[in-house]
């Protein structure tokens, strides 16, 4: 049996395991890092997580690792503080030379104006590893698709950021050329950052040095997202000749795999089996040892008939606004669609939306979904909240209004420099502003759309918690922006932009108020019966408690059905039993019910999902309609 090339290549310097959340990226990355370290005992191997909800230590189980393998789970907040501490003087000098802002204004922006927190800090850390450890093999366990694409697109974003910083220095350089004098480290900082970032980008773009390894499951939503991911990787010029189809279970998924399109068929599939024992620690080597190079099936196995999932227990649906949260890939999209479809079928006008950058609502419902609410079934509107579009609208309004302002100021001595600086001001806005602008549309839609219920399929755990924490950061940035508008209103007045940002500020307050009152907003947590998912679910619940967001239900999804007679099915059910007991204890502690959904045929389409939703809420359509009407 030949091994996948990404495990045997001697030229590769970096492997990025990417894909939809919950497909097994962490276990696959850990298993591959262990296999590479064992195969090359003299070569240093660095296993690093770029997912804010780190699970690498959970997967490795605290066991003794090969001496040449180092595990890094960086804290983006700490990396940010270190970076700002090292370069605060450079950033302040650059800002003071290029804008009309004084030292007080600059201080209010400095800690808020970096183009990203998580993705930027991880990119900087990776660039440091490439520079400082040229002999090391770096293996990345990445965040789910949407945020990984942000990381991979960071070179373009950073180029804009560095150009913005460079424009702030342009006036200073011009004055030096006229009157002479010595430059200092500010220009050197920009040049150094550009060189480091370009060096990492060059590694990413060289297929002999870097490979992306998408990980997927034999499920329609996972396969659809993987196809879209591969198209994005191709557009970025990143090599991905192989992909891992994980957790293969006999009798499941043959129809899905037979129907993959050319984008996937052009890659070599590496099949990884569902193991009877959850792979953790050095046992992960069994996973990599079970990799099988294969081919895509040409037709479905007609004997592979899957039962529909069954539901045991129910969750409460009393809040008009419901966030469906969980580790990536545990089924938050299917559950969100199921709860929304059932509420609509029960007579409650419902809006279903997604804040996940790689949202899969369209694939689950088998209908197109746009950036504005559209009806996909009687009483059910669906929207994919588009963070990029929200921020782009702000940028366009800013540019139009700024152009009018600058024309009124024509004749100023420094206009050529001030124009570029002012045009790039939004390039220094904190990442997350776009996602917040999209998320704050939710209470607006709830209030204006006449909906009795709004169900939101959220981004995976780490990014959801960061997003829910962002209002304070965004509030600080908005306060700084409004402070500048007020202080310099005699020369810098942009009333339309100010009104839009004021709307964002009000929306942030409304959203936090809604989620702080269970009569107005609450969360449902979805998970699966694995040790790694259990650890992350406990952190998610703790995070929701810390943020004082009400939890009204929990769902253990994809539970192995009881009564399986095959040896693998019995073994998996046995390994899941203690995890399910832990979920029961957690649900009891926080005072919410726990529902179980068995592993079965993937539910798709509004009618099928509505049936699943009916099982989850444990009420007849009429009772549910009356109940939801009272809640609304």
The answer on pLDDT for 630 being more than 50 is no
- The active-site residue, picked from 51, 118, 363, 418, is 51
Nearest to 478 by CA among 520, 440, 516, 446: 440
Which pTM does this prediction carry?
A: 0.69
End-to-end CA distance of the chain: 60
Give me the sheet containing 69-72, strands edge to edge.
Answer: 69-72, 45-49, 137-141, 14-18, 210-217, 242-248, 268-273, 292-293
Higher per-residue confidence, 596 vs 515: 596
Residue 285 shares a structural domain with residue 366: no
pLDDT-derived band at 627, boundaries 50, 70, 90: very low
pLDDT digits (tens, 9 = 90+) for 268-281: 999 988 887 777 77
Buried b / exposed e over 65-88, threshold 16 CB at 10 Å, is beebbbbeebebeebbeebeeebe
* CA distance linking residue 242 with residue 284, whole number of Å: 20
The answer on pLDDT for 293 being more than 90 is no
Last residue of a domain, one of 266, 293, 320: 293
Is 418 a member of any domain?
A: no
Which CATH number belongs to the domain containing residue 202 in this structure?
3.40.50.300
Residue 376 shares a structural domain with residue 276: no
Residue 214 shares a structural domain with residue 331: no
Is 485 a member of any domain?
A: no
Is 351 a member of any domain?
A: yes
Last residue of a domain, one of 293, 322, 350: 293
State the chain's mean pLDDT as an integer.
78
pLDDT-derived band at 295, boundaries 50, 70, 90: confident
Residue 259 shares a structural domain with residue 339: no
What mean pLDDT do residues 436-456 have? 79
Is 51 labeled as catalytic in the residue annotation? Answer: yes
Last residue of a domain, one of 264, 293, 322: 293
Is 412 a member of any domain?
A: no
Domains of the chain: total: 2
Rg of the chain, C-alpha, whole Å: 26
Is 435 a member of any domain?
A: no
Write out the residue range of the structural domain in which residue 320 sits.
Answer: 311-385+451-462+520-631
The answer on pLDDT for 481 being more than 70 is no
The answer on pLDDT for 158 being more than 80 is no
Residue 266 shares a structural domain with residue 339: no
Is 349 a member of any domain?
A: yes
User: According to the model, what pLDDT value does residue 493 have?
Assistant: 65
The answer on pLDDT for 174 being more than 80 is no
The answer on pLDDT for 179 being more than 60 is no
Residue 327 shares a structural domain with residue 250: no
Residue 53 shares a structural domain with residue 123: yes
Is 130 a member of any domain?
A: yes
Four-point Cα dihedral 427, 430, 431, 432, nearest 10: -130
Nearest to 300 by CA among 421, 375, 218: 218
User: According to the model, what pLDDT value does residue 415 have?
Assistant: 46
Is 337 a member of any domain?
A: yes
pLDDT digits (tens, 9 = 90+) for 68-114: 999 988 887 788 778 777 777 776 666 555 555 555 655 555 554 44
Least confident interval from 29-38, 122-131, 201-210, 334-343: 122-131
Residue 285 shares a structural domain with residue 345: no
Helix (H) or strand (E) holding 591: none
pLDDT digits (tens, 9 = 90+) for 362-379: 888 989 888 888 999 999
Residue 156 shares a structural domain with residue 212: yes
Residue 254 shares a structural domain with residue 374: no
Residue 288 shares a structural domain with residue 334: no
DSSP string across 506-569:
HHHHHHHHHHT-TTTEEEEEEE-SSHHHHHHHHHHHHHHHHTT--EEEEEEEEEPPTT--SHHH
Residue 284 shares a structural domain with residue 329: no
% of the chain beyond a pLDDT of 70: 76
């Amino acid at each position: 049996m030949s091994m996948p090339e990404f495990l045997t290549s001697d030229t590769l310097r970096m492997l990025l395991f990417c894909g939809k959340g919950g497909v097994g990226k962490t276990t696959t990355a850990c298993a591959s890092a262990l296999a590479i370290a064992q195969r090359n005992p003299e070569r240093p191997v660095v296993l690093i997580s770029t997912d804010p909800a780190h699970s690498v230590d959970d997967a490795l189980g605290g066991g003794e690792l090969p001496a040449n393998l180092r595990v890094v789970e960086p804290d983006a907040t700490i990396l940010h503080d270190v970076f700002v501490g090292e370069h605060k003087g450079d950033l302040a000098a650059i800002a003071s030379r290029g804008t009309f802002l004084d030292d007080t204004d600059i201080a209010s922006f400095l800690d808020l104006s970096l183009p990203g927190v998580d993705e930027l800090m991880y990119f900087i850390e990776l660039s440091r590893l490439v520079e400082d450890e040229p002999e090391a093999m770096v293996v990345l366990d990445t965040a789910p698709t949407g945020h990984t694409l942000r990381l991979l697109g960071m070179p373009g974003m950073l180029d804009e950021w560095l150009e913005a910083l460079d424009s702030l220095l342009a006036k200073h350089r011009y004055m030096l050329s006229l009157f002479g004098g010595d430059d200092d480290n500010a220009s050197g900082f920009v040049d150094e950052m550009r060189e480091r970032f370009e060096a990492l980008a060059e590694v990413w773009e060289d297929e002999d040095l870097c490979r992306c390894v998408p990980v997927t499951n034999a499920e329609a939503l996972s396969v659809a997202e993987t196809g879209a991911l591969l198209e994005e990787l191709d557009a970025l010029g990143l090599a991905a000749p192989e992909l891992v189809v994980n957790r293969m279970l006999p009798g499941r998924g043959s129809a899905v795999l037979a129907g993959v399109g050319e984008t996937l068929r052009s890659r070599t599939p590496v099949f990884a089996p569902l193991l009877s024992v959850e792979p953790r620690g050095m046992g992960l080597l069994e996973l990599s040892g079970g990799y099988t190079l294969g081919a895509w099936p040409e037709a479905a196995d007609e004997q592979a008939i899957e039962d529909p999932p069954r539901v045991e227990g129910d969750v409460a649906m009393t809040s008009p606004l419901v966030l469906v949260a969980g580790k990536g890939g545990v089924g938050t999209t299917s559950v969100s669609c199921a709860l929304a479809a059932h509420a609509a079928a029960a007579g409650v006008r419902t809006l279903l939306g997604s804040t996940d950058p790689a949202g899969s609502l369209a694939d689950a419902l088998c209908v197109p979904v746009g950036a504005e609410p559209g009806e996909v079934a009687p009483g059910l509107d669906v929207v994919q909240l588009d963070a990029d579009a929200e921020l782009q609208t702000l940028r366009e309004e800013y540019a139009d209004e700024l152009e009018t302002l600058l024309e009124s100021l024509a004749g100023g001595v420094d206009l050529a420099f001030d124009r570029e600086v002012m045009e790039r001001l939004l390039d220094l806005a904190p990442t997350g502003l776009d996602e917040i602008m999209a998320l704050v549309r939710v209470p607006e839609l709830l209030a204006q759309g006449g909906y009795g219920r709004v169900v939101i399929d959220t981004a995976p755990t780490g990014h959801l918690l960061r997003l829910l924490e962002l209002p304070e950061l965004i509030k600080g940035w908005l306060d700084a922006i409004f402070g500048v508008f007020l202080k310099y209103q005699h020369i810098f007045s942009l009333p339309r932009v100010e009104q839009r940002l004021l709307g964002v500020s009000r929306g942030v307050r409304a959203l936090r108020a809604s989620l702080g009152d269970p009569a107005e907003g609450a969360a449902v947590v979805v998970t699966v019966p694995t040790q790694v998912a259990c650890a992350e679910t406990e952190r998610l619940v703790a995070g929701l408690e810390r943020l004082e967001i009400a939890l009204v239900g929990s769902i253990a999804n994809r539970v192995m059905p009881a009564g399986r007679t095959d040896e693998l099915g019995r073994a998996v059910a046995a390994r899941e039993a203690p995890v399910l007991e832990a979920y029961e204890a957690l649900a009891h502690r926080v005072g919410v019910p726990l529902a179980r959904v068995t592993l079965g045929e993937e539910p798709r389409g509004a009618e099928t999902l509505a049936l699943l939703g009916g099982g989850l809420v444990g009420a007849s359509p009429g009772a549910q309609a009356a109940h939801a009407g009272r809640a609304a």
